[in-house]
Amino acid sequence: MDRSRRSRGAELNRMAATVRAGRAGRNDALEAFANEGCTAPRFWRNGPGDRYGRHEHGYHKVLFCLEGSIVFHTDDGDVTIAAGDRLDLDPGTVHGATVGPEGCACVEASKP
């Protein structure tokens, strides 16, 4: 079964990762964080092909991709998010990531 990104507007549910494909921008992300009681947002960016080794967090991670794309590697398969998409990772979800060919810019926060 292909575990990669589905068409825009679709929602992909996983045991530990949920992707909402969409058209969210910076202001949409900040509004979502505020409405959901998240921590202060953290903005970051990476160059093409940059990688994050497998790790996990003890909190619920909410991430919006603002530019480019990034592939998250989970035990349930790979999940690609692109500009406008949202990724939620449950606490304890082991994951790594590989930045797409155009790099990426993201904003993330943790949720209670």
Please report, for the chain, the start and end positions of each structural domain, with discontinuous segments joined by +: 11-111
User: How far apart (Å, rounded) are the C-alpha atoms in residues 86 and 9?
Assistant: 11
pLDDT at position 32, please? 97
- Here the tokens at position 43 are 């903005």
CA 1, 73, 112, 104 torsion-angle sign: negative
Please state the rounded mean pLDDT for residues 28-54.
Answer: 98
Distance CA 71, CA 100 (A): 7
Q: What is the CATH number of domain 11-111?
A: 2.60.120.10
Mean pLDDT, to the nearest integer, of 1-11? 38
| Dist. CA 24–CA 10, nearest whole Å | 14
Write down the pTM of the prediction: 0.85
Mean model confidence pLDDT for the chain = 89
